[in-house]
Structure 1
Amino acid sequence: MIEVERVIMVRRPLAEVVAYLEDFGRTEEWDPGTVRCVRLDDGPVRPGARWRNTSRFRGRTTDLRYELVLRESARLMFVGENRTVTALDDLRFAAEGTATRLTYRASLRFKGFARLAAPFVRGEFERLADEVVTRLPTAAEAWRS
């Protein structure tokens, strides 16, 4: 399993940052690996909402189906899955004056023979997490609800 954690400061109030990030379709705006992310259902974003995320990682394109499994006032959790990997994105928010501190934990649990790849992709996953630290605040701060 690969796990990364980053702490990100966003110059927007907590409720606005949660509202921005609860729609996983917006990963196109801040996740450097996401090529496309499309909502698979309708209605308000709440636990059970689903997306198809197409990502490019080390030159390969893959699709994962993501679901919002937890939505609290200061926490979001998404689980993505396909036949080779389960991804978990755990976002925790804390107000810091008029800004928000986001603790972003992401993990990948590979399945079957794909588990053998974990040690070789850790560095790339860390690099992508570093890019998120730069891109996410810019996207969230530019968003208007």
Structure 2
Amino acid sequence: MITVRRSFIVGVPLEDLVAYLADFAHAQDWDPGTVRCVRIDEGAVRPGATWHNTSRFRGRATNLVYVMESRETDRLVFAGSNKTVAARDVMKFEPRSATATQLTYTASLRFKGLARLAEPFLRSEFEALADKVAERLPIVVTNQQ
């Protein structure tokens, strides 16, 4: 399994940040690897909500279905999967001031079948992608507010 974690400050209040990130469709704005992310069910954004995510990695497109596993006032958990990978994204939020929130973002990927053999060779690329998310997400979210 590959796990990457980044912690950074976002210049918006905790409640606003959680509300924005709870809609995983916004991943196409802040995640450089996500090409498209579309909600595939209806209703409130709550545990059980689902999204179709298309990501590009190493020049290849891959599709995953993501499900919101939990939504709390200070934590979001999403799980995505397809036939070759299972992904889990955990976002923890901690207020730093009335207008700033610390976000700790942990992304884990578990490859299935023969794809598991590639894990050691892919870690550095996922670390670089996590750096880009930590750089881009605060800017995108702050500009949305």
TM-score bracket for this pair, using the shorter chain length = over 0.9
Counterpart-to-counterpart distance in 2, 1:50 and 1:104: 20
* Partner-residue secondary structure (3-state), 2:92: strand
Show the 5 A alignment for 1:96-135.
96-97=96-97, 98-135=99-136
The one-letter code of the counterpart of 2:54 is T
Q: Shift in Å at residue 121 of structure 1?
A: 0.7
Q: Shift in Å at residue 43 of structure 1?
A: 0.9
Q: Shift in Å at residue 76 of structure 1?
A: 0.0
Counterpart-to-counterpart distance in 2, 1:87 and 1:25: 16
The one-letter code of the counterpart of 1:72 is E
Aligned to 1:27: 27
Q: Shift in Å at residue 73 of structure 1?
A: 0.2
Structure 1 vs Structure 2: percent identity of aligned residues?
A: 58
Counterpart-to-counterpart distance in 2, 1:8 and 1:41: 31
Unaligned runs of 5+ in 2: none
Counterpart-to-counterpart distance in 1, 2:40 and 2:143: 25
Counterpart-to-counterpart distance in 1, 2:106 and 2:49: 20
Show the 5 A alignment for 1:1-145.
1-97=1-97, 98-144=99-145
Counterpart-to-counterpart distance in 1, 2:125 and 2:30: 17
Counterpart-to-counterpart distance in 2, 1:62 and 1:115: 16
* Partner-residue secondary structure (3-state), 1:41: coil
* Partner-residue secondary structure (3-state), 1:140: helix
Unaligned runs of 5+ in 1: none
Counterpart-to-counterpart distance in 2, 1:71 and 1:139: 21
Number of aligned residue pairs: 144
The one-letter code of the counterpart of 2:136 is R
The one-letter code of the counterpart of 2:63 is D
* Partner-residue secondary structure (3-state), 1:92: strand
**TM-score, with structure 1 as normaliser:** 0.98
Moved over 3 A (4+): none
Q: Shift in Å at residue 139 of structure 1?
A: 1.1
The one-letter code of the counterpart of 1:58 is R
Q: Shift in Å at residue 29 of structure 1?
A: 0.5
Q: Shift in Å at residue 78 of structure 1?
A: 0.1
